[in-house]
């Protein structure tokens, strides 16, 4: 909810909000991404501060989602918390496994929102508005 | 939990009594576990449908601090648990000081007598736990985001508690205790009760409250702050752009009718003299340097 507040403060209207909940496994991440992607048309922002579910589990979910869903929007991913290092290592290899993967790995929530804002401005520019 | 100083002495799973798990004995019932180990706190992490039974069992076993991390516990179950807790407190109070219990039953939240010897604190459900950096943790917080210091962090959301703690740590500000009261519609210990404990805690100098839409916790905190709290408070409320009537991830995060909006909460807190941060990044700046 803090994430959607921040996006709104940048003038960006979130299409949806998915809370994957505590103790989510990779499968639930894939399902969550599927739901979130169903009406996202600009980018998908993932902001997770992990405790019960470790970051590397989320990363595995993201990798699985790339294999199964082939998202057509860029993913902006911000992970923090337990096992964040392992997650970053897993995600660093994503473009090698999936050539089409458009994944932006960022360090903080502020960076994530700025990245989406940049994409948003680029998108508007592209449409000549 | 062990790496942050907690002495884990036992586990409870019915049917697995007599076995060992991670170097501690497993018991069939909480009572057996408390009797054998003298535990004084417990962490409840059973599925939502079983939380009520587990909490009642923990109260009966005489545990003083009960932390429940499970989210989406049925509200009706929590009504029963809280009624049971109130009763357990009154019984304990009556035992401790005969004749002194007048005024305690049915007292509105935030005005109960605090710190009784047999007080039972239920934290949660849906809580990230309680964490005093360098001392002890009961819960599931990522411990490396915190550092010892003098700020009390109080939150409804778990991830926001980590987010704020991490922000403070990166700004060089340590924390005395980080506590998440839980994301449920009905929780045990509320903001006001924890504020009373922070007020009495010599290691806490300032307090950060992270609230969100829905419920009345922030309003009750504001009333308590105006009434009794002497320590400075900074607050941050999320859900400023949340649509009414929509449950925003957490069970308790929903604007119902005209109630529970972020603006109402911000107004109530500001009226009580709290400095309210508009963005996360503002929080460290609003804390008094000392």
Complex confidence, ipTM: 0.87
Handedness of CA B185, B141, B278, B270 (dihedral sign): positive
pLDDT at residue A34 in the model: 93
Do the Cβ atoms of A81 and B162 come within 8 Å?
yes
When scoring A21, A22, A107 by the number of chain B Cβ atoms within 10 A, the one with the most, hence best to mutate, is A22
- Residues of chain A in Cβ contact (below 8 Å) with chain B: 1-2, 4-6, 8-9, 17, 19, 21-22, 48-52, 80-82, 109-110
pLDDT for B96 beyond 90 = no
Half-sphere exposure of B175 (CA within 13 A, CB side): 33
pLDDT at residue B183 in the model: 92
**A38 Cα to chain B: minimum distance (Å):** 18
Do the Cβ atoms of B163 and A49 come within 8 Å?
yes
pLDDT tens column, B174-216: 999 999 999 999 999 999 999 999 999 999 999 999 999 999 9
pLDDT for A44 beyond 70 = yes
* B281 contacts A110 by C-beta, under 8 angstroms: yes
Tell whether omega for the bond before B144 is within 30 degrees of 0, i.e. cis. Answer: no
Question: Max CA-CA distance within chain B?
Answer: 56
pLDDT at residue B117 in the model: 41
Handedness of CA B24, B29, B31, B36 (dihedral sign): negative
Tell me how far CA of residue B21 lies from CA of B18, B57, B90, B138, B186, in angstroms. Answer: 10, 21, 36, 18, 32
Mean pLDDT of B245-269: 91
Q: What is the pTM of this model?
A: 0.88
pLDDT tens column, B230-243: 999 999 999 999 98
Tell me the pLDDT band of A77, cut-offs 50, 70 and 90: very high
Tell me the pLDDT band of A94, cut-offs 50, 70 and 90: confident
pLDDT for B114 beyond 70 = no
Tell me the pLDDT band of B106, cut-offs 50, 70 and 90: very low
Q: Which residues pair with B236 in a beta bridge?
A: B210, B277
Tokens of B287: 């804390």
pLDDT at residue A45 in the model: 94
Strand duo B175-180 + B129-132: pairing:
antiparallel
Chain B neighbors of A110, CB-CB under 8 A = 281
pLDDT cut 90: percent of chain B above it: 76
* A62 contacts A33 by C-beta, under 8 angstroms: yes
């Amino acid at each position: 909810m803090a994430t959607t507040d921040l996006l709104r403060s940048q003038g960006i209207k979130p299409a949806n909000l998915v809370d994957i909940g505590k103790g989510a496994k990779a499968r639930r991440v894939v399902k969550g991404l599927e739901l979130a992607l169903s009406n996202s048309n600009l980018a998908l922002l993932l902001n997770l501060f992990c405790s019960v579910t470790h970051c590397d589990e989320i990363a595995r979910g993201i990798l699985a989602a790339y294999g199964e869903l082939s998202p057509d929007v860029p993913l902006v991913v911000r992970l923090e918390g337990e096992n964040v290092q392992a997650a970053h290592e897993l995600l660093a290899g994503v473009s090698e496994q999936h050539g089409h993967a458009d994944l932006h790995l960022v360090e903080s929530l502020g960076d994530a929102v700025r990245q989406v804002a940049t994409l948003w401005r680029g998108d508007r520019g592209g449409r000549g508005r | 939990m062990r790496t942050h100083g907690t002495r884990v002495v036992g586990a409870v799973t019915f049917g697995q009594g007599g076995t060992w798990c991670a170097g501690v004995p497993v018991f069939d019932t909480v009572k057996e576990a408390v009797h054998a180990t003298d535990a004084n706190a417990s962490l409840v992490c059973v599925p939502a449908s079983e939380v009520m039974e587990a909490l009642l069992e923990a109260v009966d076993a005489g545990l003083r601090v009960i932390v429940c991390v499970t989210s989406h516990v049925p509200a009706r179950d929590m009504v029963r648990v809280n009624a049971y807790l109130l009763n357990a407190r009154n019984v304990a109070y009556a035992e401790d000081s005969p004749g002194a219990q007048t005024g305690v039953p049915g007292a509105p939240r935030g005005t109960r007598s605090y710190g009784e010897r047999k007080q039972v604190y239920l934290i949660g459900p849906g809580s990230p736990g309680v964490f005093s950096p360098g001392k002890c943790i009961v819960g599931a917080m990522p411990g490396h985001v915190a550092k010892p210091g003098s700020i009390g962090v109080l939150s409804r959301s778990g991830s926001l508690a980590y987010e704020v703690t991490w922000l403070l740590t990166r700004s060089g500000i340590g924390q005395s205790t980080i506590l998440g009261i839980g994301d449920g519609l009905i929780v045990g210990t509320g903001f006001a009760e924890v504020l009373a404990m922070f007020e009495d805690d010599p290691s806490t100098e300032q307090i950060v409250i992270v609230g969100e839409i829905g419920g009345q916790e922030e309003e009750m905190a504001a009333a308590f702050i105006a009434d009794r709290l002497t320590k400075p408070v900074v607050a941050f409320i999320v859900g400023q752009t949340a649509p009414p009537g929509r449950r925003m991830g957490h069970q308790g995060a929903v604007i119902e009718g005209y109630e529970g909006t972020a603006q109402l909460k911000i107004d109530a807190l500001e009226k009580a003299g709290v400095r309210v941060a508009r963005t996360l990044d503002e929080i460290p700046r609003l804390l008094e340097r000392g």
